[in-house]
Amino acid sequence: MKDILLIGQTLRFTADPFTVPLEDAAKTSARGAVLVRDGKIAQTGEAADLQRENPLAEVIDNGDHVITAGFVDAHMHFPQTAMIASWGLRLIDWLNTYTFPEEMRFADPTYCDKIADRSLDLALSHGTTTLTSFCTIHPASVDAFFSAAAKRNMAVVAGKTCMDRNAPDGLQDTALTAYDDSKALLNKWHGKGRATYAITPRFSPTSTPDQLDALGALWGEFPDAMMQTHLSEQLDEIEWVRGLFPDAKDYLDTYETFGLLGERGLYGHAIHLEGREIDRLAEMNAAVVHCPTSNTFIGSGLFDMAGLKSRGIRTGLATDTGGGSSFSMLRTMAAAYEIAQLRGTALHPAQLMWLASEGSASALHMSGEIGSLNVGAVADIVVLDLSSTPAIAQRTAEAETFWEALFPTIMMGDDRAIAQVYLAGKPV
């Protein structure tokens, strides 16, 4: 494969901009370049230097467009693609009215394939190069998602959603089938190509203690797998959990008791955390995932980005499709900014871009592999047009700094801002 030299404005990170000064964390160039060799990033630097050092490389000049790492969505539900933006009340009503009836359709493998293809293509069109998804209880939904990703050479994390109570009969498994199906799927897909398996209890209210115990045992057998679930999304949900687990210290304890709290755990939402839960998440080096458009759409609450980051808790960013109301990580960054403002913190554009790439990659234990424009990373790359609409273009034209030029695209951009996407160095 011929070397490719991408030229344009470049943005990459060498550190977390939440923990080190911005000028030390983010590296930008007005005329930078990225050399792609055999699907990976081989060099970064100034365009003139890399052109001189690599005279045989194919040059793709992107002008003033920004070349940066592809976006990493750390929590979504591909089976909810077709019902995104469905009007609803609270979380439980929304699940019963829209989510569960839609997920029943995934008993049909043909439908699984159709929606998996649609979901991945929509993500890619918005510059998202890695998805972390809940599937349904149906093994065919897992096969469809991983197969669709493999066809595109796309890095994904996913798992069979397990539920054995408080769900329609057609969406319930058992403790035994949850364990057996998950183990079989894990052995089939985990570590194959760019696939990572995540053991997936939906959340404590839809799993009996026996099922949680079985899934905790499975994670103990395969500690290099991920585990994903939901935590403290809404106040009435937390009260429901208290009633179902009267002996638990708190919501997080309903997972920890059964071996489902660990470093490779992903805890979606994590809005209404108690002090002990924050302490334990920090002690275990577990990751939480912020889903801002979902949190506002369903009225869940305001995630405490500043507070959790100050405790050193790894934090990813996610669309939470279809509770989230957009497939776009740009729109997700904008919502994260708005929620932080309501909590008294103005997130810098660098922090937002880091959350949508390096931050989510860290949550997935894939730092340096995805979500990065640094040497050695897989060349999953997005090229951003900072003048994609008249409204954005007129604001960008007034910008005096790189960050001032980028911020309007974060706040107002959508799929029109995605000029090009590369997966492992190949244009999508």
Tell whether 359 and 381 lie within a shared domain.
no
Per-residue CA distances from 181 to 139, 175, 187 (Å): 7, 10, 10
Name residue 58's beta-bridge partners: 4
Q: Is the pLDDT of residue 152 over 70?
A: yes
Residue where a domain stops, chosen among 363, 387, 406: 363
Query: What are the φ and ψ backbone dihedral angles of 223, each rounded to 5 degrees?
Result: -70, -15
C-alpha–C-alpha distance, residues 384 and 101, integer Å: 37
Task: Give the residue from 363, 393, 417 where a domain finishes.
Answer: 363
Whether residues 173 and 219 share a domain: the answer is: yes
Residues 56 and 102 in one domain: no
Shared domain check, 303 and 405: no
303 contacts 264 by C-beta, under 8 angstroms = no
pLDDT at 99 over 90: no
φ, ψ at 401 (rounded to 5°): -135, 165
Check whether the bond before 322 is cis (ω within 30° of 0).
yes
Residue 141 has pLDDT above 70, yes or no: yes
**How many residues are recorded in the chain?**
428
The closest of 386, 390, 423 to 408, measured between CA atoms, is 386
Of the three residues 307, 342, 363, the one that is the final residue of a domain is: 363
Structural domain range at position 22: 4-70+371-427
Pairing of strands 418-423, 426-427: antiparallel
**Average pLDDT of span 195-208:** 98
Q: 100 falls in which pLDDT band (50, 70, 90)?
A: confident
Pick from 94, 197, 220: nearest CA to 146? 197
Determine the Cα–Cα distance for residues 364 and 53; give it in Å rounded to an integer: 35
- Six-digit token pair at 27? 């590296």
- HSE value, Cβ hemisphere, 13 Å, CA-based, for 345: 21
Residue 113 is predicted with a pLDDT of 98
Work out how many domains the chain is built from and give that number. 2
Q: What is the pLDDT of residue 5?
A: 98
Q: Confidence class of residue 1 from pLDDT cuts 50, 70 and 90? A: confident
Share of the chain above pLDDT 70, in %: 99
Average pLDDT (126-146) is 98
Does 113 lie in the same domain as 9? no
Q: Which of 414, 407, 419, 353 is nearest to 61 (CA)?
A: 419
Q: What is the pLDDT of residues 306-327, one digit of tens each?
A: 999 999 999 999 999 988 899 9
* Whether residue 215 sits in one domain with residue 164: yes
Say what the pTM is. 0.97
Compute the distance between CA of residue 336 and CA of residue 37 in angstroms, rounded to an integer. 34
Averaged pLDDT of the chain: 96
Q: Any idea what the CATH number is for the domain that residue 375 is in?
A: 2.30.40.10
Query: Is the sign of the CA dihedral 258, 189, 288, 92 positive or negative?
Result: negative
201 and 134 together in one domain: yes
Pair (281, 406) in one structural domain: no
Which residues are CB-neighbours of 35 under 8 A, at least 6 positions away?
3, 4, 5, 6, 41, 42, 43, 44, 50, 54, 57
Residue 87 pLDDT: 81
Same domain for 93 and 32: no
Distance separating alpha carbons of residues 347 and 397, to the nearest angstrom? 22
Query: Are 156 and 64 in the same domain?
Result: no
Mean pLDDT, to the nearest integer, of 251-280? 98
Measured CA to CA in angstroms, residue 191 lies from 128, 186, 217, 359, 424 at distances of 21, 9, 20, 21, 17
Spatial separation of the C-alpha atoms in residues 404 and 42, rounded to whole Å:
29
Same domain assignment for residues 99 and 17: no
- What are the beta bridge partners of residue 256? none
Q: CATH number, domain at 323? A: 3.20.20.140
Position of tokens 């009340």?
A: 89
For residues 335 and 384, membership in a common domain is answered with no
pLDDT digits (tens, 9 = 90+) for 164-189: 999 999 999 999 999 999 999 999 99
3-state secondary structure 223-270: CCCEEEEEECCCHHHHHHHHHHCCCCCCCCHHHHCCCCCCCCEEEEEC
Read out DSSP for 121-168?
HHHHHTTEEEEEEE--S-HHHHHHHHHHHHHHT-EEEEE-EE--SSS-
**So what's the pLDDT on residue 89?**
67
Which tens digit of pLDDT belongs to each residue from 15-62?
Answer: 999 999 999 999 999 999 999 999 999 999 999 999 999 999 999 999
- Rounded Cα distance, 303 and 323, in Å: 15
Band the pLDDT of 90: cuts 50, 70, 90: low
**pLDDT value at position 307?**
97
Say if residue 222's pLDDT is above 80.
Answer: yes
